[in-house]
């Protein structure tokens, strides 16, 4: 269904328009919300957890079956290398449905046998009911992965959804709508709308009075706006927001593993993962050697055509985002950074010459107070700074308004546990980065979000728990 408005879907690896997308307006969003409530009042509202788990398994199987279509669409929308989309984005999209099918099958409620004054007792037990129609708003950096991370538990819990992918990356969500149909998801359960945030489909979702919960991944500033709007009607929100993540590298670490890990953490997906490391703190004794080794990894990255097997670095998502990242390249210099490597735009040939590429960039020499060490750049950059003591490293890591993720690199088990207990983040990795188990809690502290998703935490957000008390 369409309004008259369309917008361009641009391929960031070439700068060319790949498709035209229909923008949903408030009337269309209203129709989607009403379709969701009608579905809940119908067949979908009567499904069992097992019925829904079977549907989720079918969705996963169909994504696998159409993996090539999904990979092609994701690569066209994001410009990310095929190797990345085919090893992370698309398989994880399918894995999200499989994981939550498994979780809803085994998840039980609480039960208490309670004492009463007359001695006969009472039984308390809890049952889960869906929230209702959930608004799902996703960003562009891992489009299918992050959308399905929310859709899978929402559907597992029996909700209907109105979902909006980012305006930058509409394609895989559109394919997913076809898959939902094929998998037998009843009409009205999965409603997909396209468009922008303010004054468009995004705002229409979050301000709609009959949206019963909002789950959002994106910038912290956007989260704050949505929260104000969700306050009307006291709707629950789950927010996965920005980060300015630190890595702490101690001199007793496995040096090569730490260099490899932090190269991946800073440059994967061109630095456009909320979990990416932009602040690296390295113990002084290994600082120079570490900077040189990390710079070697950055210089070895190959930007270019995502379909070329040699390409290891994609473009930024858009011309606008590249302007933002380049403005931080300028700011870093103004703030006194030494540019160890990168700091510019690579010269590329062919179609990639029109793409939104930047060089992977490493800075040193900034004071901890620099804006570049506090604002999320969301590009292939990191700043490396030396530290002397464990206390100093912890204080530097915690010197941030964000609190999403951190990694600690050390050969000392005692130190690993000590530091893990003191760094104020939602996710902390020791001697690794972005190793995920979908049953674990995922989310951030402070500006990085509200709530946790993953495993039973997702089931808690996407359902209402009702306690039933029976006097025996």
Active site residues: 240
Strands 402-403 and 445-446, by their bridges, are: antiparallel
Residue of minimal CB distance from ligand NAD?
A: 197
* Cβ closest to ligand NAD, residue 155 vs residue 404: 404
Per DSSP, the residues of 55-76 read HHHHHHHHHHHTHHHHHHHHHH
d(CA 223, CA 322): 22
Question: Contacts with ligand NAD in 8-37 (CB under 6 A)?
Answer: none
Measured from the CB atom, the residue of 246 and 291 that comes closer to ligand NAD is: 246
Q: Which CB atom, from 96 or from 410, has the smaller least distance to ligand NAD?
A: 96
Binding test (CB under 6 A) with ligand NAD, winner from 196, 301, 396, 430 = 196
> By C-beta, is 197 or 355 nearer to ligand NAD?
197
> Exposed, middle or buried, 400 (CB in 10 Å: 0-12/13-18/19+)?
buried
Q: Per CB under 6 A, does 404 bind ligand NAD?
A: yes
Task: Report residue 441 as tokens.
Answer: 């809690």
Contact 277, 246 (CB under 8 A): yes
Q: What mask of x and - would describe binding to ligand NAD in positions 374 to 393, judged by CB under 6 A?
A: --x-x---------------
- Burial code (b: 16+ CB inside 10 Å, e: under 16) for 340-356 equals bbbbebbebeeebebbb
Confirm if 306 and 13 have CB atoms less than 8 A apart: yes
Counting contacts by CB under 6 A, is residue 167 touching ligand NAD?
Answer: yes
Among 11, 96, 141, 148, binds ligand NAD (CB under 6 A): 141
Closer by beta carbon to ligand NAD, 195 or else 304 = 195
Asked if 225 interacts with ligand NAD (CB under 6 A), we say yes
Is the CB of residue 196 less than 8 Å from the CB of residue 22?
no
Residue 180 engages ligand NAD in binding (rule: CB under 6 A): no
Which DSSP letter does residue 244 get? -
Residue 200: CB minimum distance to ligand NAD, A? 7
Residue 219 within binding range of ligand NAD, rule CB under 6 A: yes
Binding-site member from 35, 137, 152, 171 for ligand NAD (CB under 6 A)? 137
Give the three-state DSSP class for 338.
strand
Q: Which stretch binds ligand NAD (CB under 6 A): 137-145, 182-190, 307-315, 327-335?
A: 137-145
Per CB under 6 A, does 271 bind ligand NAD? no
* Residues in Cβ contact with 326 at an 8 Å cutoff, skipping those fewer than 6 apart: 345, 358
Please list the helix, strand and coil fractions of the chain in percent, rounded to the nearest 5, in that order. Answer: 45, 20, 35
C-beta of 131 vs 274, nearer to ligand NAD: 274
Residue 433 and residue 243 in contact, taking contact as beta carbons nearer than 8 Å: no
Residue 352 within binding range of ligand NAD, rule CB under 6 A: no
Among 379, 449, 451, 454, binds ligand NAD (CB under 6 A): 449
| Cα angle: 398, vertex 403, 404; to 5 degrees | 135
Nearer to ligand NAD, 145 or 340 (CB): 145
Closest CA to 162 of 171, 172, 173: 173
User: Does residue 427 contact residue 276 with C-beta atoms inside 8 Å?
Assistant: no
Dihedral angle of Cα 67, 69, 70, 73, to the nearest 10 degrees: 160
d(Cα 404, Cα 406) in Å, to the nearest integer? 7
DSSP 8-class letter at 404: S
Q: Counting contacts by CB under 6 A, is residue 222 touching ligand NAD?
A: yes
Question: Maximum distance among all alpha carbons in the chain?
Answer: 84
Q: Using the rule CB under 6 A, is 7 a contact of ligand NAD?
A: no
Interface segment toward ligand NAD; rule CB under 6 A; list 214-222, 287-295, 305-313, 348-356: 214-222
Q: By CB under 6 A, is residue 402 in contact with ligand NAD?
A: no
Q: Does 278 bind ligand NAD (CB under 6 A)?
A: no
Among 55, 179, 180, 206, binds ligand NAD (CB under 6 A): 206
Which residues of the shown chain bind ligand NAD in the complex (CB under 6 A)? Answer: 137-141, 146, 164, 166-167, 196-198, 202-203, 206, 217-219, 222, 225-226, 240-243, 274, 376, 378, 404, 444, 448-449
């Amino acid at each position: 269904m369409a309004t008259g408005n369309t917008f361009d879907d641009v391929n960031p690896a070439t700068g060319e328009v790949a498709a035209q997308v229909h923008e949903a307006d408030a009337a269309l969003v209203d129709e989607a919300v009403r379709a969701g409530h009608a579905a809940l009042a119908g067949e979908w509202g009567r499904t069992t957890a097992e019925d829904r788990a079977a549907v989720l398994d079918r969705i996963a199987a169909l994504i696998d079956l159409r993996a090539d279509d999904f990979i092609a669409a994701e690569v066209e929308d994001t410009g990310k290398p095929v190797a990345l989309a085919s090893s992370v984005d698309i398989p994880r999209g399918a894995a999200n449905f499989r994981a939550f099918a498994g979780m809803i099958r085994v998840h039980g409620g609480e039960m208490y046998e309670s004492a009463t004054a007359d001695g006969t007792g009472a039984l308390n037990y809890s049952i889960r009911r869906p929230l209702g129609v959930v608004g799902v708003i996703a960003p562009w950096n891992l489009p299918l992965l992050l959308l399905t991370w929310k859709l899978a538990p929402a559907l597992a819990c029996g909700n209907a959804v109105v979902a909006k992918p980012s305006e930058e990356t509409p394609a895989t969500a559109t394919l997913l709508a076809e898959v939902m149909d094929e998998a037998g998801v009843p009409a009205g359960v999965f409603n997909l709308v396209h468009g922008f945030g303010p004054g468009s489909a995004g705002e229409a979702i979050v301000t709609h009075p009959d949206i019963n919960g909002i789950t959002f991944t994106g910038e912290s500033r956007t989260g704050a706006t949505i929260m104000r709007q969700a306050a009307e009607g006291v709707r629950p929100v789950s927010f996965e927001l920005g980060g300015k993540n630190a890595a702490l590298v101690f001199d007793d670490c496995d040096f090569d593993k730490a260099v490899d890990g932090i190269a991946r953490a800073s440059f994967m997906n061109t630095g456009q993962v909320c979990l990416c490391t932009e602040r690296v703190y390295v113990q002084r004794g290994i600082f120079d050697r570490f900077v040189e080794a990390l710079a070697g990894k950055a210089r070895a990255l190959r930007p270019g055509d995502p379909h070329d097997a040699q390409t290891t670095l994609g473009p930024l998502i858009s011309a606008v985002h590249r302007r933002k990242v380049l403005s931080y390249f300028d700011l870093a210099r103004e703030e006194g950074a030494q540019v160890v490597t990168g700091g510019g735009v690579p010269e590329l040939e062919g179609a990639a010459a029109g793409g939104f590429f930047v060089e992977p960039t490493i800075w040193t020499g900034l004071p901890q107070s620099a804006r570049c060490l506090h604002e999320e750049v969301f590009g292939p950059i990191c700043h490396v700074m030396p530290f002397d003591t464990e206390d100093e490293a912890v204080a530097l890591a915690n010197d941030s308004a964000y609190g999403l993720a951190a990694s600690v690199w050390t050969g000392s088990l005692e130190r690993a546990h000590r530091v893990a207990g003191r760094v104020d983040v939602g996710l902390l990795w020791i001697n690794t980065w972005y190793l995920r188990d979908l049953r674990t809690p995922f989310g951030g502290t402070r500006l990085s979000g509200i709530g946790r998703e993953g495993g039973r935490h997702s089931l808690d957000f996407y359902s209402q728990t009702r306690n039933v008390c029976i006097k025996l």
